[in-house]
Structure 1
Amino acid sequence: MTPFRGLSHVALVTGDMDATIRFWRDLLGCRLVGRLGRPGQRAYFFDAGAGTLVGFFEWPGVEPVPAREAQERVGGPFAFDHVALAVGSLDDLFGLKDRFTAAGVASSDITDHGFIRSVYLHDPNGITVECCCPARGADMARDPVAIEKEPTAVASAGPDPDPAAFPAPAGRRQWPVVPGTGYRAFVRE
């Protein structure tokens, strides 16, 4: 199986770090746990719970993406649809919806997708953010779901990785490790 323990972080981009902090820290309640870099080259990280961080790189001059509905299709180059943050219960979701409304921040109706219930809004960068809670005890990681009528040939093989899909490494190798952004903040030599 996979060696992954979960999602470490998602790295996004902002041209307005202060507006991003106001949204992610002050509206959503995600603690600002990492601040690296300098003006024009900052990397800030917010705690999204369960060991997951949402990071923003400051790129001066970058513009917000046009706000769109989750799953609204677009043409041309495109990378992802939305970021989804999990909460524990429907009551937590109601609390967030109340918070967004009180703050005058536009958000969707609470939507029931069968396996989760969700509310959607946009951050200052135009990124669609979904806040969701489990519904009906569904857990796709525990109990995979396949209800599509015409799955792709590769998907038809099932949920588990195919060990023959890629060549196996010839052996374990010690790769060089080089310093990166943030190295000096965490390592004292």
Structure 2
Amino acid sequence: MHYTGINHLAMATGDMDGTIRFWRDLLGLRLVAGLGRPGYRHYFFEISPTDMIAFFEWDGVEPIPEKDHGVPVRGPYAFDHVAIGVRDRNDLFEIKDKLEAADVWVSEVIDHGFIFSVYAFDPNGIAIEFSCPVPGVDVRAHPAMVDKRPSAVTLEGADPVPGTWPTVTRPTPLSERRIYPGEGREILAEEE
């Protein structure tokens, strides 16, 4: 398998226009696809050549309460924040300046040792982090584990461990591979 990045993260909004103003007009992400019908919209913003963030607009969706990034919670919980990478600290300060000029709360630049980050919230209450690499530090090339109490599974290392899941014994033959129609095929009709 060859992963190319996050195709898209799918969020929810009750105000697509406000979401477009923030993500497209303030942050500068291109609006590259939009699906819709009464009571439903699904719009996609380009983060990079391989990554997007998308929003469903449904009636009745309200902004979530702002929760500080990375602060522990109890009970059912699945999502903390979106972290978007930028090239360097110049881009990071440009984002910080844009958010401050728009009167959107944004943190100071934080040095995490391997990345520099700023934190903010979008109009839907979604916690966002913008990060750039610290020059000379690359945890992808040189993984680092400084957890003082790592689990036994963690101590197995950075690379996938073969044999922990069942192996595929019957790959889907080419003759049986089917792709079924779903939402969004109308975009193809628009391009023709």
TM-score interval, smaller chain:
over 0.9
Gaps of 5+ in 1: none
Partner of 1:182: 184
Partner of 2:157: 158
Distance of 1:142 and 1:40 partners within structure 2: 46
- Asked whether the 8 Å contact 1:46–1:53 carries over to 2, the reply is yes
Partner of 1:11: 10
SS at match of 1:117: strand
- Asked whether the 8 Å contact 2:4–2:50 carries over to 1, the reply is no
Equivalenced residues, count:
188
Q: CA deviation at 1:137?
A: 2.3
Partner of 1:61: 60
Distance of 2:101 and 2:146 partners within structure 1: 38
Partner of 1:32: 31
Partner of 2:46: 47
Give the letter for the 1:126 counterpart: G
Give the letter for the 1:56 counterpart: F
Give the letter for the 1:93 counterpart: L
Partner of 2:133: 134
Q: CA deviation at 1:184?
A: 2.7
- Asked whether the 8 Å contact 2:7–2:50 carries over to 1, the reply is yes
SS at match of 2:149: coil
Moved more, 121-130 or 132-141: 132-141
Distance of 2:185 and 2:49 partners within structure 1: 24
Q: CA deviation at 1:73?
A: 1.7
Q: After superposition, what is the alpha-carbon deviation per residue over 1:104-145, rounded to whole angstroms, capped at 9, x for unaligned?
A: 111111111011111110011111011111113222222211
Distance of 1:136 and 1:115 partners within structure 2: 8
Distance of 2:51 and 2:21 partners within structure 1: 19
Moved more, 172-181 or 10-19: 172-181
Distance of 1:51 and 1:92 partners within structure 2: 19
Distance of 1:73 and 1:45 partners within structure 2: 30
SS at match of 1:99: helix
User: CA RMSD, aligned part only?
Assistant: 1.7
TM-score normalised by structure 2 residue count: 0.92
What percentage of aligned pairs have identical amino acids? 48
SS at match of 2:53: strand
Distance of 2:44 and 2:61 partners within structure 1: 18
Partner of 2:96: 97
Q: CA deviation at 1:34?
A: 0.7
For residues 73-84 of structure 1, the aligned pairs below 5 Å read: 73-84=72-83
TM-score normalised by structure 1 residue count: 0.93
Gaps of 5+ in 2: none
Which aligned runs of 4 or more in structure 1 are off by greater than 4 angstroms? none
